[in-house]
Structure 1
Amino acid sequence: EPLAPALKSLAGEHGWDAADLDFYIVHAGGPRILDDLSKFLRVDPHAFRFSRATLTEYGNIASAVVLDALRRLFDEGGVEEGARGLLAGFGPGITAEMSLGCWQTADVRQSVRQAVTRDASRDVTRSVRQP
């Protein structure tokens, strides 16, 4: 139960509603935690289908659940550019690692990388040309 309030708080700090994300990739250790998250956040249990499928097929494979659940998300077609989501891992003793973010395609990352490189080149050029 303390995990869902922590997630809700983290999302709130960023102006997001934890119940209104586009995808949830969670290593929960077992289905009960996924059920509790779904219930507390009032999120359709289907939102946790990737993590639940990994647990069903392989059991608790520790943090590798996140990677396998991501693979399942990709196999289903992925998510749209800009989709908001959660990557999280929960462990014993109420330990939690949570990351919220927006999905970016490789094309967007390449555009950002090119813009940063271009801006950095301009800064270097300006500093070299200035007396």
Structure 2
Amino acid sequence: VVARRSDLKLIVTSATMDAEKFAAFFGNVPIFHIPGRTFPVDILFSKTPQEDYVEAAVKQSLQVHLSGAPGDILIFMPGQEDIEVTSDQIVEHLEELENAPALAVLPGQREVAGPIASKTGPGHLVYA
């Protein structure tokens, strides 16, 4: 592609790709290393398969939130519908605890962020 389209500029970014192999494939194009910031992350996952992964994600995120642990919560879901259902269920549970602001899925985006207001303190819940 680069040989036929000298006017085409392509930038590829990845934190996990084999940059040398990728550069060699495209004719030994230059590699730029741009350092990023890292943040401490606790990864929670189920050790056993879950029949309803949406329900399991809702329960786990509510447990983490209500424990008063500092920080934010990121939930990965495989599709838009799962994101919407997860968001709706968490809002329902938080409203039972106290009046939390609603989280909404924004048109054309696969990520949602909203504040969590509760007795345990502020935080953000992000769905991706």
Q: Which has the larger radius of gyration?
A: 2
Q: Which has the higher contact order (CA 8 A, sep 6+)?
A: 1
TM-score between the two structures when normalised by the length of structure 2:
0.31
In terms of fraction of residues, the more helix-rich structure is 1
Per residue, is there more strand in 1 or in 2?
1
